[in-house]
Chains A and B, each alone.
Chain A
Amino acid sequence: MSLSVLICDDSNMARKQVLRILPESLSENVQLATNGVEALEILNNQPIDVLFLDLTMPIVDGVGVLQGIKEAGISVNVFVISADIQPEMQNKVLELGAKAFLRKPVQLDVLTTHLKQHDII
């Protein structure tokens, strides 16, 4: 059974970057969100197994999404994919429950390694 995936990024190109390197088991049931509000709406209404989350976004940013997930007690494996690579930000998202921080632009081998490390694939 394929896992449900949500990719949240305000950039169409960044969403495509993730989409095209997804392993087969994650590429059959993919939804897209362009900001944190859209992502939280999806997460509150249906089970999502894996969320790939950008941080610097308009309306509600990635940190806001992680806080929303935590407050609502939603169970989802979150992989942050961001250009904001400051160590303080990386620690912050891990403290908020993200499984891993991946720097943009994300590469296939890096994504695969992290997904394997967390038993997603």
Chain B
Amino acid sequence: MNNVNLNEDQQDCLQEIINVAMGQASDQLARYLDTFVYLKVPSIEQVSAQHLSDTLKYEAQSVAVVSQGFFGYEGIRGEALLMYQPKDSDRLADLLGYEPDELSVEEQIIDLSSILTTTFLNVFASQIDNQMSYSAPRLLFSSNADNNTSSQSSISEHIQHNSFNWDTALKVKISYQVTDYSFNCDMILLIPESAIINITSVIDRILEEY
């Protein structure tokens, strides 16, 4: 793994920027679902390609996974994965409050993912004086079928097919927990090696103000 580790101050600064973005995204989610979202402290870790692959296999024990790329100025970019783990997928349709046949469950999941990802990343970007563009959200896997093996390979292949160098990645995991519905959604941001260096430069500029 190349040496792009964040030092303690850089990690703290990034975590605080993520906290603010997470708070606003959770507020959007709470309004969308008309419920309360319980927040945990987000985790940030640097992972190697092998660890990333193993992690994604583990994380893919989900009902649905939506992926959306993001691209900002100054070489800041990455991939956001939204992983849904409700107890059963039918419940998700009820939770989202659409009429039967109004939208497919898959379309509803993509809608929700897009709101969460863009709200989070727009707030994240505004704090670092940046602006994000997004690729179309893509449903990698939806679990009407019980096929975890195919979901794992689908995510891994998707990540590998991106033009990023994933030898090393910064992995940010944020858990949104809607307690009264037993509904969990994890947002995983994967930031490739080259973008970590660019984010570090931006963070250093912010830290200079303190």
| A-to-B contact residues, CB < 8 Å | 10-14, 16-17, 20, 56-58, 82-86, 88-89, 103-105
Contact = CB atoms under 8 A, between A and B. Distances in A.
A12, A86, A103: which has the most chain B beta carbons within 10 Å? A86
Interface string B1-40: 0000000010011011001111110110010000011011
A83 B12 contact: no
A22 to B, nearest CB: 14
A11 B12 contact: yes
The 5 closest A-B pairs by CB, nearest first: A83-B23, A11-B16, A83-B20, A88-B36, A83-B19
Given A83-B22, A104-B20, 9 more contacts: A11-B12, A13-B12, A13-B207, A56-B40, A83-B19, A83-B23, A85-B27, A88-B30, A103-B23
Given A11-B15, A12-B9, A20-B210, A85 B23 contact: yes
B23 A58 contact: no
Interface residues of B, number: 22
A54 to B, nearest CB: 9
Contacts of A56: 19, 23, 39-41
A56, A57, A85: which has the most chain B beta carbons within 10 Å? A56
Interface of B: 9, 12-13, 15-16, 19-24, 26-27, 30, 36-37, 39-41, 127, 207, 210
Given A11-B19, A20-B210, A86 B12 contact: no
Contacts of B15: 11
Nearest to A56: B39
A108 to B, nearest CB: 14
A12, A13, A17: which has the most chain B beta carbons within 10 Å? A13
8 contacts: A11-B12, A13-B9, A56-B19, A83-B21, A83-B22, A86-B30, A88-B36, A104-B19
